Amino acid sequence: MSYLKALILISIFNLMSPKMTDASNNNGTGYLQINRTPDFEITGDGSSPAWNNTEWEIIPKRTENTVDYTTEVKVLYSETGIYFLFHCEDEIITATMQADNLDLWKEDVVEVFLMPDENSSLYFEYQLSPLNYELTLLIPNLDGDRRFLGWLPWKYEGDRKTRRETTILRDESGNVKGWMAEFFIPWNLLDPLVIEPPEPGDRWKANMYRLDYDKGSTRFSWQETDRHFHEPHNFGTFIFK
């Protein structure tokens, strides 16, 4: 095969290859395609058949320590909101807080940040603990990621409320093997960040995280950040299909 022909074949292959969705595409270059679904019930264990319509996405560990857990997530969206399913390997559940809107990030937790308009300083933050307590915030991120404040939702009721359930996973002997977090965030809760539901082809900046406290603080993040989770310039991109 001639050198020129080889170059042509390589070029054609690159054009036909799909974009990478692997979390190794860091610094805001990672993409995840989000499939559309009819609405379904939240069970806390991912048992809805709707979850068969998408694949697991790995959330890599970013802390250098001896913790060796896998964290993965699935994401779907519907006409009324967006669904998340986290599966977290774990051996010790560090969760004592017994109310919503506490400092959940100081214990085991999963987190999602959604930024529909990357030209705005506003984004939505959601946290869920293994005990099914949530933290729901609107974040005005000011001054280059150095000042970020949180505002709780007003009139948080009816079709503006999330739906969420969690499950602690155990083996036959009762030992903890992990936990799952399944939740639904309605578009109505994201108003005024979201006026209309996303359409196929729309893109949002986003990131997904986990914190584990078996051996100190272990950070997991879909897209890697430099100093903390509140770095929109390092978010990845959700592409709605």
Convert the pLDDT of each residue in 183-231 to its tens digit.
Answer: 999 999 999 999 999 999 999 999 999 999 999 999 999 998 877 898 9
| Helical (H) or strand (E) element with 112 | strand 109-115
- Structural domains in the chain, CATH included, are 21-240 (2.60.40.1190)
User: Does the N-terminal peptide bond of residue 232 adopt cis geometry, omega within 30 degrees of 0?
Assistant: no
CB 136 within 8 A of CB 123: no
How many C-beta atoms surround the C-beta of residue 93 within 10 A? 20
Query: Minimal CA–CA distance to 194: which of 83, 115, 141, 90?
Result: 115
Does the pLDDT of residue 164 top 50, yes or no? Answer: yes
- Going by their DSSP bridges, the two strands 71-77 and 57-58 should be labelled as antiparallel
Return the structure tokens found at 184: 């639904």
- Structure confidence at residue 80 as a pLDDT band (50, 70, 90): very high
Secondary structure (3-state) at 49? helix
Q: Tell me what the mean pLDDT of segment 96-103 comes to.
A: 97
Residue appearing with tokens 């999330």: 162
Tell me the whole-structure pTM to 2 decimals.
Answer: 0.87
Q: Mean pLDDT over all residues of the chain?
A: 88
CA dihedral 179, 186, 219, 94 (to 10 degrees): -40
